[in-house]
Structure 1
Amino acid sequence: MARAHRRLIRLPGVNVRATLTPFGVFRSDPTHRWWTNGFARAVLTPAGPGTISLEWGRDGDVTAETWGAGAAWLLDAAPRLVGEHDDPSGFDPGSDRRLVDLWRRHGNFRLGASGVVWQEMAVTILGQRVTTQDAMRTWRRITMRWGQPAPGPHDLRLPVEPSVLAGRSSYELHRDGLERSRADTLVAAARRTDRLEEAATMELDDALRRLSALPGLGPWTATVTATLSHADPDLVILGDYGVPTLVSYALTGSSERVDDARMLELLEPFAGHRWRLVRLIHNLGISAPRRGPRATNPRIAEL
């Protein structure tokens, strides 16, 4: 095994696990692994495939180790991944005593940015119009079928190279749980990865325009992708089925379904840090009461 690259990042008082949670939501995802005080992720970087491992202690010191052709790139990107650049000092929880208390007790996370687009976008495309569980099932199938073993000691799988998916047909992807619409969008994105990856270094507004330019990539796909690649503190996910109602429930106590317009109205007092507030809500595990049966999707691969 090639020698690992290593660096130390100091983040006193930061909850590193909560910071990294968006990059490792599902245990079944073969591209990452958690342990008590650590996280490893396989990444397709602009410099090639690589793996990054992050371990932290109670003193806030984070040790980053990387392997593979993308090792140097990942090491340079590690501080942003753990949110070293992020400054929450301007966030004002307002006068709501409950929110003030929640921020005081749970606001020690940061907004981490991966700096890669294809990997974040591919998962997001799979999540279009289906449940997150179905999206992750498809992601795992595609990754295990088409991805390669990741470098390093963590027994991870690399995401599928876009060049591999670019040559696939919708029929082939149907076996992995994708209907034609999402399959066509995924393949189209894979064929334009160079243009999409350029968005990683753009200012947020320019990046969102670039990410929305392809057919099938609307505001929801663009904003969800950017929460991971850019992690701008004021970014708001648009077009989501559940986020507006979640925000409304957390801020008003009402479980009535609301739209983006109402969500943006409620988030206005937190301008500059709207995504930070939504992340706080997610981190606390707040969820609005269900008003109907749990959504399910047919097993597309079996149709």
Structure 2
Amino acid sequence: MTQSLDAERCYRAVASRDARFDGWFFTAVATTGIYCRPSCPARTPLARNVSFFSTAAAAQSAGYRACRRCRPDAVPGSPEWDVRADVVARAMRLIGDGEVERSGVPGLAARLGYSERQLHRLLVAELGVGPLALARAQRAQTARVLLETTGLPVADVAFAAGFASIRQFNDTVREVFATTPTGLRRTAPRTPSGTPGELVLRLAARAPYAVDEVLHFLGAHAVPGLEEWDGTTFSRVLDLPHGPAVVRLSPAAGAPGVTARLRLTELRDLGVAVARCRRLLDLDADPAAVDDVLGADPALSALVATAPGRRVPASPDAAELAVRAVLGQQVSVAGARTLTARLLTAAGTPLPEPVGTLTHAFPRAAALAEADLTAVGLTGARRGTVHALAAAVADGAVPLDAGADRDEATGALRAVPGIGPWTAALVALRGLADPDVWLPGDLALRRSLVQLGSSDSDAATRWRPWRSYAVMHLWALAVPDLFPHRPPSLPERSAS
């Protein structure tokens, strides 16, 4: 059992089938040899027969196979890896983003500034398994999705999921799911049908989750050519390691979640695409923990009650968000969209062929650093900031990958001429998905704080560790057009 887990607390969650803990930990049952999510509908096992693991990989390495009834590999991810800033959490974010598949364990360790041996020791000490086992569990999950949602030959699925050989693929599927790949495909649940060349999958979320609000917020910021919003579905181009992809995101029927329809250049990018969509939609958040803190504050209680489980829509790429934040300085949302669309035309990567109104992937940092932006309509100083930022991201001076140290990244951003505290904080909030960010000097937040009788300096510490979510509630009060659910009317009050 993973050392950091409280067995008594975990067992209470299992006995009550509490879905809020799905993804936080996994329950392994010695008498059946399977591991489940806490909310599994099967009969509750006796306490003496269960062990608890913080990752599916640890349960698999201990010899347990995934339950076919509750499908524990399809739960939301643990919110712990987004909340924490230590090296284990940063490693988990990078593994989820496919770093082991791209550059192996040496590349993962190098990104984190550790030796392979040090990193392995840290992960095993806390999670019970090393980076290879964690990446293997992710490959198994990708393989299951492909088997269930496509008609690809099994051999193609194996290599698309990242396995080095058919034998390795077959052995892993047997160990994890206790069946063969063809057997897993035969017993797959029915999935929504998509157009040819399109993968359709469901992205799970913890309740409550107001998917319409998240998609509306993203749609209000949609950049023509890169993103599209039709009032129900938000679509965008993703710049993935092996080529651009297009994803269409819409509310899922039934349980909380989102239906994602993906067109990939290469199937081996599926795991990365899913991880980035989950970050974009803030699907792995723990709404109960956030609402417990914010809802207990008299100033925010009415806002939280109106929009329980409110999320922080992010970006699939922090470097993209950083550039967009610079373009959005001191202009309206509409103005920022216009400038970003011009930059996209000037420096973006055209798709092989348009997909509806989507035409370009956002320019990568190295290309943007050398691009001619004179036609975008920026001042010379702002143009210089974009070039300096792109060059700093390209050479690693500003680390903005999934495993970046958030404090280090924020400090490096502020060292770029033209980037101040507000812009750096916005990148941390919506680019690096830091759940505890305050935006200093934000005018919309100040307007809301006046209504609440609070102050900027007070709020900067008042709602820790969930200040990013407090920002969203206050934005909803000040800029209701960005949110489909209008907050309650509050009387004007003096900040003094």
Out of 103, 110, 124, the position equivalent to 2:304 is 103
Taking structure 1 as the reference length, the TM-score comes to 0.77
Structure-2 change in CA distance of 1:200 and 1:238 (3 Å): farther
SS at match of 2:339: helix
Q: What one-letter code is carried by the residue in structure 2 that aligns with 1:100?
A: S
Which residue number corresponds to residue 280 of structure 2?
A: 81
Which residue number corresponds to residue 273 of structure 1?
A: 466
Which residue number corresponds to residue 7 of structure 1?
A: 201
Contact 2:244–2:351 (Cα < 8 Å) also in 1? yes
- Report how many residues are paired: 275
Larger RCO: 1 or 2 (CA < 8 Å, sep 6+):
1
Query: Structure 2 unaligned runs (5+)?
Result: 1-194, 481-489, 491-496
Which residue number corresponds to residue 119 of structure 1?
A: 320
Q: Report whether the alignment pairs 1:181 with 2:181.
A: no
Contact 1:116–1:229 (Cα < 8 Å) also in 2? yes
Distance (whole Å) between structure 1 residues aligned to residue 376 and residue 326 of structure 2: 14
| Per-residue Cα deviation, 1:175-212 (whole angstroms, up to 9, x for no partner) | 32111111011112222333245443223222212332
Which residue number corresponds to residue 34 of structure 1?
A: 229
Q: Report whether the alignment pairs 1:163 with 2:366.
A: yes
Q: What one-letter code is carried by the residue in structure 2 that aligns with 1:41?
A: R
| Cα displacement (A) at 1:47 | 4.6
Distance (whole Å) between structure 1 residues aligned to residue 402 and residue 307 of structure 2: 29
Structure-2 change in CA distance of 1:206 and 1:27 (3 Å): closer
Bigger Cα Rg = 2
Query: Structure 1 unaligned runs (5+)?
Result: 254-261, 289-303
Which residue number corresponds to residue 133 of structure 1?
A: 334
Q: Report whether the alignment pairs 1:201 with 2:394.
A: no
| Per-residue Cα deviation, 1:13-33 (whole angstroms, up to 9, x for no partner) | 311132344543335533111
Structure-2 change in CA distance of 1:5 and 1:229 (3 Å): farther
Give the helix-richer structure, 1 or 2.
2
Distance (whole Å) between structure 1 residues aligned to residue 348 and residue 260 of structure 2: 24
Contact 1:208–1:223 (Cα < 8 Å) also in 2? yes
Structure-2 change in CA distance of 1:225 and 1:14 (3 Å): same
Q: Report whether the alignment pairs 1:211 with 2:413.
A: yes
Which residue number corresponds to residue 228 of structure 1?
A: 430
SS at match of 1:43: strand
User: Within 5 Å, which residues of 2 pair with 1:285-300?
Assistant: 285-286=478-479
Q: What one-letter code is carried by the residue in structure 2 that aligns with 1:219?
A: P
Q: Report whether the alignment pairs 1:264 with 2:457.
A: yes
Q: What one-letter code is carried by the residue in structure 1 that aligns with 2:226?
A: T
Q: What one-letter code is carried by the residue in structure 2 that aligns with 1:227?
A: L
Q: Structure 1: which 4+ aligned runs deviate by more than 4 Å?
A: 284-288
Distance (whole Å) between structure 1 residues aligned to residue 351 and residue 284 of structure 2: 27
| Cα displacement (A) at 1:246 | 2.5
Distance (whole Å) between structure 1 residues aligned to residue 237 and residue 283 of structure 2: 20
SS at match of 2:370: coil
SS at match of 2:402: helix
Q: Percent identity, aligned pairs only? A: 23
Distance (whole Å) between structure 2 residues aligned to residue 93 and residue 236 of structure 1: 18
Which residue number corresponds to residue 65 of structure 1?
A: 261
Distance (whole Å) between structure 2 residues aligned to residue 215 and residue 13 of structure 1: 41
Structure-2 change in CA distance of 1:178 and 1:36 (3 Å): closer
Distance (whole Å) between structure 2 residues aligned to residue 283 and residue 224 of structure 1: 16
Structure-2 change in CA distance of 1:180 and 1:249 (3 Å): same
**What RMSD in Å do the two structures reach over aligned CA positions?**
3.0
* Greater shift in the superposed pair: 225-234 or 106-115: 106-115
SS at match of 1:236: coil
